Chains A and B, each alone.
Chain A
Amino acid sequence: MEFSYLSLIIFLPLAGALVIALTPGLSARLVRYIAAIFTLVPLVVSLVLFALFDRSSDAAGVMQFEEIMSWIPAIDANYHLGVDGLSLPLVLLTTLIGFLVVLISWKVGLRVRQYFAWLLLLETSILGVFCSLDLLLFFFFWEVEIIPMYFLIVIWGSGRKEYSAIKYVVYTLFGSALMLAGILSLYFATGSFNMIELSQGGLAMIQSILPIAPIFFLLLAGFAVKLPVFPFHTWLPDAHTDAPTAVSVVLAGTLIKMGGYGMIRICLGILPEVARDFAPLLLALAVVNVVYGAAVTLKQTDIKRLIAYSSISHMGFVLLGVFALGELSITGAGLQMFSHGIITGLLFAVAGIVMHNTGERTIGKLGGLAKQMPVVAAIFIIGSLGAMAVPSTSGFVAEVSVFLGAFSSDAVWGVRIFTAICLIGVILAAAYVLWLVQRVFFGPARGKFDGVADASKLEKAYCAVFVAVIFLVGIYPAILTDVLKTGIAPIANLFGG
Chain B
Amino acid sequence: MEVISPSGPVWLIFLLPLIAFAVIFLLIKPLNKPKLASFISIIAVLGSLALSTWLLFSLLSSPEHELTVPSLNWLVVGGAINIQFGLILDSLTVVMLMVVTVVSLLVQIYSQGYMRGDPGYHRYFALMSLFTASMLGLVMASDLLVLFVFWELVGLCSYLLIGFWFQRPAAANAAKKAFIVTRFGDLGFLAAILVLFSQTGTLDIAQLHGLAAAGVLGGAVLTWVAIGIFLGAVGKSGQFPLHVWLPDAMEGPTPVSALIHAATMVAAGVFLVARMYPLFEHSPTALLTVATIGGVTAIFAATMAMVMTDIKRVLAYSTISQLGYMMLGLGVGGITIGIFHLFNHAFFKALLFLSAGSVNHATGTFDMRRMGGLKRIMPWTYATFLVASLSIVGIWPLAGFWSKEEILATSLESQPLLFYLALITVFLTAFYMFRIVFLTFGGQYRGDTKPHESSRVMVIPMVVLAVLAVGSGWVNVTGGFDQFLGHGEGHSFAQGFFGALAHPLAWLSQVFAAGGIFLAYAIYSARWLSAERIRRRFFPVYKLLSNKYWFDELYENILVRGILLNRFFAGLKFFDSRGVDGAVNRIADTVVTVGQTSRKVQTGQLQLYGMFIVLGILAIILAMYFTG
Q: Does B81 contact A (CB under 8 A)?
A: yes
Residue B541 is within 8 A (CB to CB) of chain A in the complex: no
Tell me whether B197 and A404 are in contact (CB under 8 A). Answer: yes
Cα distance, A166 to B156, chains bound together (Å): 42
Given A177-B616, A438-B176, answer yes or no on A445-B190 (Cβ-Cβ < 8 Å).
no
Cα A295 to Cα B163 with chains together (Å): 25
When chains A and B are docked, how far (Å) is the Cα of A426 from the Cα of B168?
A: 27
Q: What are some 30 contacts across the A-B interface (CB < 8 A)?
A: A72-B624, A74-B624, A74-B627, A75-B623, A75-B627, A146-B609, A166-B605, A177-B612, A180-B620, A184-B619, A187-B623, A234-B584, A328-B80, A331-B80, A371-B167, A390-B152, A391-B148, A391-B149, A401-B81, A420-B191, A430-B180, A430-B183, A434-B175, A434-B180, A435-B176, A438-B172, A441-B166, A444-B168, A484-B77, A485-B78
Q: Which of B74, B156, B569, B577 contacts A295 (CB 8 A)?
A: B569
Interface centre among B74, B156, B620 (most CB of A within 10 A): B620
In the bound complex, CA of A400 to CA of B37 (Å): 35
User: Which of chain A's residues have a CB closer than 8 A to the CB of B620?
Assistant: 136, 180
Partner-A contacts on B (CB < 8 A): 73-81, 145, 148-150, 152-153, 156, 159, 163, 166-169, 172-173, 175-176, 179-180, 183-184, 187, 190-191, 193-195, 197-198, 201, 565, 568-570, 572-573, 576-577, 580-581, 584, 588, 605-606, 608-609, 612-613, 615-616, 619-620, 623-624, 626-628
Contact B569 A296 (CB under 8 A): yes
Contacts of B184 in A (CB 8 A): 427
Over the window 59-75 of chain A, the binary record of Cβ atoms lying under 8 Å from chain B Cβ atoms (1 yes, 0 no) is: 00000000000001011
- The answer on a CB contact under 8 Å between A392 and B74 is no
Within 8 A of B (CB), among A171-192: 173, 176-177, 180-181, 184, 187-188, 191
Give Cα A424–Cα B198 distance, bound, in whole angstroms. 19
Chain B neighbourhood of A299, CB < 8 A: 565, 569-570, 572-573
| CB-CB nearest in chain A for B169 | A443
Chain A, 292-331, CB within 8 A of any chain B CB: 292, 295-296, 298-300, 326-328, 331
Establish whether residues B76 and A478, one from each chain, have CB atoms under 8 Å apart when the complex forms: yes
In the complex, are the beta carbons of B80 and A426 less than 8 A apart?
Answer: no
CA–CA, A331 to B79, complex, Å? 12
| Contact residues of B: prevailing secondary structure | helix
A328 touches B588 (CB 8 A): no
Is there contact, CB below 8 Å, between A430 and B76?
no
Q: A457-486 vs B: 1/0 string, CB under 8 Å? A: 000000000000000000001100100110
Q: Which chain A residues border B581 with CB–CB below 8 Å?
A: 234
Q: Are A328 and B572 in contact (CB under 8 A)?
A: no
Residues of A near B159 (CB, < 8 A) are: 434
Closest chain-B Cβ to A253's Cβ sits at a distance in Å of: 24
Q: Are A328 and B627 in contact (CB under 8 A)?
A: no
Chain A residue, CB-CB nearest to B150? A391
Docked Cα-Cα span, A496 to B84, in Å, equals 25
Contact B624 A407 (CB under 8 A): no
Which residue of B has the minimal Cβ distance to A291?
A: B572
Interface centre among B77, B173, B576, B612, by most A CB within 10 Å?
B77
CB <8 Å contact, A370 and B77: no
The residue in chain A whose Cβ has the minimal distance to the Cβ of B193 is: A404
How far does the alpha carbon of A444 sit from the alpha carbon of B148 in the complex, in Å?
A: 34
- Expressed in whole angstroms, the minimum distance between the Cβ of A239 and any Cβ of chain B is 13
Q: A404-B81, A444-B169, A478-B76 are in contact. Are A427 and B569 (CB under 8 A)?
A: no
Alpha-carbon separation in the docked complex, A170 to B604 (Å): 13
Closest to B81 in A: A328
Contact with B along A422-436 (1 / 0, CB 8 A): 011011001100110
Query: Would A181 and B167 count as touching, CB distance under 8 A?
Result: no
Give chain A residues whose Cβ lies under 8 Å from the Cβ of B74: 477-478
* Chain B, residue nearest A415 (CB): B198
Closest chain B CB from A355 CB (angstroms) = 21
Q: Does A368 contact B (CB under 8 A)?
A: yes
Residue in chain A with minimal CB distance to B612 = A173
Give chain B residues whose Cβ lies under 8 Å from the Cβ of A484. 77
* B194/A403 in contact, CB under 8 A: yes
Closest to A327 in B: B80
Determine whether A114 belongs to the interface, using a CB cutoff of 8 Å to chain B.
Answer: no
- Quick check: B167 and A426 within 8 Å, CB to CB? no
Interface residue A112 (Cβ < 8 Å from any Cβ of B): no
| Docked CA distance A150–B609 (Å) | 11
A143 at the interface (CB under 8 A from B): yes
Q: In the complex, are the beta carbons of B194 and A404 less than 8 A apart?
A: yes
Across the interface, A170 reaches (CB within 8 A) one of B569, B588, B626, namely B588
CA of A327 to CA of B580, assembled, Å: 34
Closest A-B pairs by Cβ, 3 of them: A408-B198, A391-B149, A442-B172
Q: Is the CB of B187 within 8 A of A405?
A: no
Closest-CB distance, B227 to chain A (whole angstroms): 15
Bound Cα distance from A298 to B187, whole angstroms: 19
Q: Which residues of A contact B613 (CB under 8 A)?
A: 143
Q: Is the CB of A74 within 8 A of B628?
A: yes
Complex alpha-carbon distance, A497 and B80, angstroms: 8
Q: Does A38 contact B (CB under 8 A)?
A: no
Contact among B577, B588, B612, B628 for A75, CB-based, below 8 A: B628
- Indicate with 1 or 0, residue by residue over A394-428, a CB within 8 angstroms of chain B CB atoms: 00110011011101100000001001100110110
A203 at the interface (CB under 8 A from B): no
With beta carbons under 8 angstroms apart, the residue of B149, B565, B568 that contacts A396 is: B149
Known: A170-B588, A170-B608, A391-B149. Contact between A296 and B81, CB under 8 A? no
* Cβ B197 vs Cβ A408 within 8 A: yes
Asked whether, in the complex, the Cβ of B77 is within 8 Å of the Cβ of A327, the reply is: yes
Complex: A328 Cα to B201 Cα, angstroms:
12
Determine how close the nearest CB of chain A comes to the CB of B174; give it in whole angstroms: 11
Of all chain A residues, the one with the shortest Cβ separation from B565 is A298
Contact B152 A391 (CB under 8 A): yes
What 9 new A-B contacts, CB under 8 Å, besides A177-B612, A292-B572, A423-B187? A180-B619, A181-B619, A300-B573, A328-B77, A391-B148, A408-B197, A426-B183, A442-B169, A481-B75
Quote the shortest CB–CB distance from A171 to chain B (angstroms): 8
Which residue from chain B places its CB closest to the CB of A187 in the assembled complex?
Answer: B623
Chain B CB within 10 Å, residue with most, of A173, A326, A403, A404: A404
Q: Are A327 and B183 in contact (CB under 8 A)?
A: no
Tell whether, in the assembled complex, residue B201 and residue A489 are in contact, meaning their CB atoms are under 8 Å apart.
Answer: no
Which residues of B lie under 8 Å from residue A173 when comparing CB positions? 608-609, 612
Complex interface bits, A121-146 against B, C-beta within 8 A gives 1, otherwise 0: 00000000000000010000001001
Contacts of B616 in A (CB 8 A): 143, 176-177, 180
For B190, give the chain A residue with the smallest CB separation. Answer: A423
B625 CB, min distance to chain A CBs, angstroms: 9
Contact between A296 and B187 (Cβ–Cβ < 8 Å)? no
The reply to whether A426 and B198 form a contact with Cβ atoms under 8 Å apart is: no
Provided the pairs A75-B628, A170-B588, A177-B616 are in contact, do residues A443 and B153 lie with their beta carbons within 8 angstroms? Answer: no
Q: B176: nearest residue on chain A (CB-CB)?
A: A434
Q: Which of A176, A230, A434, A481 contacts B77 (CB 8 A)?
A: A481
A25 interface residue, CB < 8 Å from B?
A: no
B156 cross-chain contacts in A, Cβ below 8 A: 385, 390
A404 CB contacts on chain B under 8 angstroms: 81, 145, 193-194, 197
Q: How far is the CA of A445 from the CA of B165 in the complex (A)?
A: 12
Contact status of A427 and B183, CB under 8 A, knowing A75-B623, A405-B80: yes
Cα A327 to Cα B81 in complex, Å, equals: 9
Name the residue on A nearest B166 (C-beta).
A442
How distant is the Cα of A478 from the Cα of B581 in the complex, in angstroms?
41
- Beta-carbon nearest neighbor of A331 in chain B: B77
Write out the residue numbers on chain B whose beta carbons fall within 8 Å of the beta carbon of A176. 616
Whether, in the assembled complex, A108 has its beta carbon less than 8 Å from a beta carbon of chain B, the answer is: no
Q: How far is the CA of A326 from the CA of B77 in the complex (A)?
A: 11
**CA of A345 to CA of B13, assembled, Å:** 36
Min distance, Cβ A348 to any Cβ of chain B, angstroms: 21
| A281-295 interface bits toward B, Cβ cutoff 8 Å, 1 = contact, 0 = none | 000000000001001
List chain A residues, Cβ under 8 A from B576.
234, 292, 296
Please state if A75 and B624 are interface contacts (CB–CB under 8 Å).
yes
Option from A181, A188, A231, A296 in Cβ contact (under 8 Å) with B626: A188
Q: Report the separation of the CA atoms of residues A292 and B580 in the bound assembly, to the nearest whole angstrom.
A: 12
Q: Which residues of B contact A371 (CB under 8 A)?
A: 167
